[in-house]
Amino acid sequence: MQLPPALHARLAGAPGSAEPLPVERDPAARTAPFRFAPRPVRFPREHDFFEEGDVQRHLYLQDVLMQVGGAPERPRVPEFTCQVAGCCQVFDALEDYEHHYHTLHRNVCSFCKRAFPSGHLLDTHILEWHDSLFQILAERQDMYQCLVEGCTEKFRTSRDRKEHLVMRHLYPADFRFDKPRKSRGPVMPGAAEQVLAEALGDDGVPSEGDAMEVCSEHVEPPPVPAGERRAYSHRIPSTICFGQGASRGFKRAKKRNKHQ
């Protein structure tokens, strides 16, 4: 199919439309038995017209999906240590480090050092656990925000919220990122350590009943040399801060830290 050479130049040229030739129809044109009338055509989803393209699309998908899911070959780099203060984890692949950083250090509460999977959950946690203003307001109005992004419902208690999550959003009743608090006041860093100890069963899964966490798991304690290896729950010395920039909290955090 030979295209006129000027065509490529036209494509590269300026936008513009052709001055249309005069249109002049003869009514005899559409008289029986002739029936042609110009019309734009639309095809719905399942139309056979789309068969070819759909088949090509799925062939492509099959090829793509074959590559997914296996652990990809990672280029190995010389071993390096996580730079966040107090964390001595060692890595030999950048992607591993990236995941570690985002999981453990990225969305960390500066009060209680818990790590969260997203900024959204971290913000919710800080609000509900470390803000006494929240507690005051919560006595009078619905302050507990639904955890599902895009849902604007608010509730009087975290229990009501949980019920909403289960009934409306089909969340599991033991959703790990929504465990109710027991105490009424804001949680202090010291108390957090105690909570950590209580909250963890020995299978690494926070136990249901008394768990007081609106967050993900125990914070990983700094790795200790093999000889002194201990089990999960540790008292994290309050002098340890997991990185200056890595965690987030209110600016007035320092005033609230009664333990120092």
Instruction: Locate all alpha helices (DSSP H) within 86-232, ordered by sequence.
Output: 94-100, 119-130, 132-138, 158-167, 189-199
| SS3 of residue 232 by DSSP | coil
Among the residue ranges 155-163, 191-199, 218-226, 240-248, the one whose residues contact other proteins (CB under 8 A): 218-226
Q: What's CA 2's distance to the chain center, in Å? A: 52
Residue 259 as a binder of other proteins (CB under 8 A): the answer is no
The count of residues interacting with other proteins (CB under 8 A) is 101
Residues in region 59-98 near other proteins by CB under 8 A:
59-71, 95-96, 98
Residue nearer to other proteins on the CB measure, 27 or 259: 27
Of the candidates 140, 134, 136, which has an alpha carbon nearest to the alpha carbon of residue 214?
A: 134
Detail the DSSP E strand segments found in the chain.
80-81, 90-91, 108-109, 144-145, 154-155, 247-248
Quick one: which of 79, 149, 225, 228 contacts other proteins (CB under 8 A)?
A: 149
Among the residue ranges 129-137, 184-192, 210-218, 234-242, the one whose residues contact other proteins (CB under 8 A): 210-218
Tokens of 202: 């020995």
Smallest gap from Cβ 137 to other proteins, in A, equals 25
Residues in region 97-116 near other proteins by CB under 8 A:
98-100, 102-104, 106, 115
Q: What's CA 178's distance to the chain center, in Å? A: 15
Q: CA angle, corner 218, sides to 135 and 209, nearest 5?
A: 65
d(C-alpha 182, C-alpha 12), whole Å: 69
Residue 11 as a binder of other proteins (CB under 8 A): the answer is yes
Quick one: which of 125, 161, 162, 218 contacts other proteins (CB under 8 A)?
A: 218
Residue 20 as a binder of other proteins (CB under 8 A): the answer is yes
Residue nearer to other proteins on the CB measure, 121 or 138: 121
CB 243 within 8 Å of CB 84: yes
Residues 190-209 vs other proteins: string with x where CB under 8 A?
A: ------------xxxx----
d(C-alpha 173, C-alpha 166), whole Å: 6
Quick one: which of 76, 169, 182, 235 contacts other proteins (CB under 8 A)?
A: 169
Quick one: which of 75, 150, 225, 237 contacts other proteins (CB under 8 A)?
A: 150
